[in-house]
Amino acid sequence: MTNMSYQFICLRIVTLLLLVTLQLGCQQNSSDITWHNSREYTLQLYNNGMLVLNAEVNYLGKQPPVDVDIKHNWQQQDTDFYSVKFTNQYQRSIHFEKIIYQLEKGKLFSQKIKDKQEIAEDYGFVKILPGNSLLDESSYVWSYADSNILHRYFHFTVDGEHLTADLPLVYQK
């Protein structure tokens, strides 16, 4: 083996190790989901190994809570309703930045991304203070398919760090 090919191989190995290290270093955000049944679960969001957010997703049925205003015509279109309780487990505030929506089957006909202002209008909040919980009782999913999953990718910032968590809603006719 020539000195030039040895250096080339060493350079490739070092580059590969550097890429793997950078990839692992960038994966600070992780989450655990514990499913309680086919529709309900608890999600725990971590940053650098520290628990930041706990989200409890509970199925409410085919009708929204009585005091909740829904912009969707759920009487005409079969719909599943959910409540989501967000609990800040961290010592700093959690800020909602945007939510990206994506159906597992088919395409969305409505807005696919909500920014901070739209989150405030829909949820009534964009920030969760340390140790506090906020409840959203207006989450819903519907589909033309007999079953589907609406993936909701929540983007948060905590201490300047960007975190993302998928809080899916399951639809079943």
pLDDT exceeds cutoff 80 at 108: no
Which CATH number does the domain housing residue 121 bear? Answer: 2.60.40
Q: Is residue 13 part of a domain?
A: no
Per the model's pLDDT, the better-predicted residue between 26 and 14 turns out to be 26
- Domain hosting residue 122, numbered range: 28-172
Whether residue 150 is contained in a domain is answered as: yes
DSSP annotation of 51 reads E
Q: Is residue 2 part of a domain?
A: no
pTM summary value: 0.80
The mean pLDDT of 127-145, rounded to a whole number, is 92
Residues 6+ apart with CB under 8 A from 18: none
Q: Determine the residue type at 100.
A: I
Q: How many domains does the chain have?
A: 1
Question: Which strand ranges, in their side-by-side order, compose the sheet holding 79-88?
Answer: 29-35, 41-47, 50-61, 79-88, 133-142
Residue at 7 is within a domain: no
Does pLDDT of 28 surpass 90? no
Q: Is residue 5 part of a domain?
A: no
Confirm whether 59 is domain-assigned: yes
| Angstrom distance (rounded) from CA 125 to CA 123 | 5
Could you tell me if residue 22 is inside a domain?
Answer: no
How far apart are the C-alpha atoms of 141 and 103, rounded to whole Å? 9
Give, as one character, the DSSP assignment of residue 93.
Answer: -
Pairing type for strands 169-172 and 147-158 reads antiparallel
For residue range 50-88, list pLDDT tens digits in order.
Answer: 999 999 999 999 999 888 888 888 889 999 999 999 999
Q: Is residue 36 in some structural domain? A: yes
Per-residue pLDDT at 8 exceeds 70: no
